[in-house]
Structure 1
Amino acid sequence: MVKSGMVNLVQAELRKLLWLPTAWVGLLLGLVAAPALVLVSAGGTRRAIEEGIAGDPSDTAFQPLGIGLLGALILGVVAVSSEYTSTGEDAPRARQLTTTLTAMPRRYRLVAAKAVALSLLVAVQGAITAVATLVLTEVVLGPLVPPADPGRAAAAVLYWVLLGLLSYALTLIFRNGIVTLTVLIVNSSVVSVSYLLTKVTPLAAYLPDIVGAHMFLNEVGDVDIAPLTAGLVMTAWVTALLGLGAWLFERREA
């Protein structure tokens, strides 16, 4: 009975997430951005490989996936921020969260169901994007890059899922989707504060947005971290932040 109830709750949260227009922005961005980057940068990448300045050739097919993870970040934020939006003009102070908690007052269970629904959606998104990106890279660059390792592809998808859960956890903690998403996107695509910190101390390489990339890339900054170690550290970060977010969510008023 409990198992069936949890399955129904996950399905409900998945439907709710797919009903949000902003979630579809995240989905489409995650699916399109990486393959598009492969096509746009094909000429420059080919020249860099031929001139020997491209770094590890085995990373070439996986590097574009970095831009696609923005979609996973958006999905993680929207899964929470949508609960704090107004339900309509007739009741501007009423929020979706009130209705959600009326239907499911057990908050820890609600947090878990949202996390599972988000993980499933990001995993599917990541798998489709990874396959499309790797195949397209092989078509465009041919023998210039080695065949993609399926294990690394799976690790990349797992990284997407963990980053989606990370943004979900941070939004639970701060209850502000705009601030959370802005910080995550700027840190991921404009100027990485975490990367700058690695120039100050090598311990910064173990921050979640840096260490996770070691799960599927061979060359990430100046610190070498084994893929398994990177995965365990990244999982520990996400688990700790999810625990804190769930604890705060349980104690706050709706």
Structure 2
Amino acid sequence: MRWLGSLHAEWTKLRTLPSTWWLLAATVALTAAVGAAAASSLTTQVCPSPAACHEDTVKLSLTGVQLSQSLCLVLGVLSMGAEYSTGTIRTTLTAMPGRWRVLTSKAATLSMLTGVAGALAVLSALALSHLILPSPTDGATLRAAAGSTLILVLVTLLGLSLATLLRDTGGAITLGLGVLYVIPILSRLVNSPTWQHRLQRWTPMPAALSIQATKNLERLTIAPWPGLGVLAAYAVGLLAVGGTVLRLRDA
């Protein structure tokens, strides 16, 4: 019963936060729109048919995930950061002293909402792109779609973790965006091929985005599912650290 009460409380807080629905709607719209735009960039001369196309059209259709993940990061940060900024975190922890239960319930609620919105976003992107440029529908496409949805969920949990650790909305968003976008750029600027390979293999986003590839898998620096596992390790690991810090310090 305590867990049900905690889940209900976190669901109530999340659904009454105005930014939640705007961010989720924007995630769906941005993922679909960017994916359709990316697909339309290929002409019929380049891809006369799915079989004759050398481009990874599925990965191209899911390009929008690279942008919409920032919205999911912000959603995760605000779910905890809003409570710290308004001081309502004290009320939450007074009503529900089990701090691990509070954080776990918040993570579960966020995962559910982002999972639904992410699945809708990914399916919309693939459907729109398919109308523009027919793409194969097979196991690799299903893996790319499921993995892209999981990327959005894990990035949301990453935002929650950073907000729990830093207790500062602006700082958590800035650090999170650095992880998502700055580190991948730096990995391409490193002169050493060895370190470039290591950064692309073991930093969250370059590794995780390998899940979207459906062609030329042998050229990837890390296989699709292990790559997604790297992001999962960061998100879950930081969530565990955040839960420990939340439990040990004052609100």
> TM-score normalized by structure 2?
0.84
Aligned length: 238
2:227 paired residue among 213, 227, 230: 230
Contact preservation (8 Å) 1:171, 1:180: yes
For 2:212, the equivalent position in structure 1 comes to 216
RMSD of equivalent CA atoms = 2.6
For 1:25, the equivalent position in structure 2 comes to 22
Contact preservation (8 Å) 1:174, 1:180: yes
Contact preservation (8 Å) 1:195, 1:204: no
For 2:156, the equivalent position in structure 1 comes to 164
Contact preservation (8 Å) 1:84, 1:96: yes
Matches within 5 A, 1:133-172: 133-142=125-134, 145-147=135-137, 149-172=141-164
For 2:122, the equivalent position in structure 1 comes to 130
Distance 1:49 1:173, change over 3 A: farther
Q: What is the letter of the counterpart of residue 216 of structure 1? A: Q
Deviation at residue 42 of structure 1 after TM alignment: 4.7
Matched residues in 2 for 1:62 and 1:171: separation?
Answer: 27
Deviation at residue 66 of structure 1 after TM alignment: 1.9
Structure 1: runs of 5 or more not aligned:
87-94
Contact preservation (8 Å) 2:10, 2:105: yes
Matched residues in 2 for 1:20 and 1:193: separation?
Answer: 31
**Identity in percent:** 26
Q: Deviations over 1:177-229 (max 9, x none)?
A: 112213433654xx532332254312212111221111223579x75211121
Matched residues in 2 for 1:228 and 1:40: separation?
Answer: 27
For 2:5, the equivalent position in structure 1 comes to 8
For 1:78, the equivalent position in structure 2 comes to 78
Matches within 5 A, 1:62-141: 62-86=62-86, 95-141=87-133
Contact preservation (8 Å) 1:173, 1:248: yes
Structure 2: runs of 5 or more not aligned:
none
Deviation at residue 65 of structure 1 after TM alignment: 2.3
Matched residues in 1 for 2:117 and 2:154: separation?
Answer: 13
Q: Deviations over 1:54-82 (max 9, x none)?
A: 84233222222222222211211111101
For 2:203, the equivalent position in structure 1 comes to 207
For 2:185, the equivalent position in structure 1 comes to 195
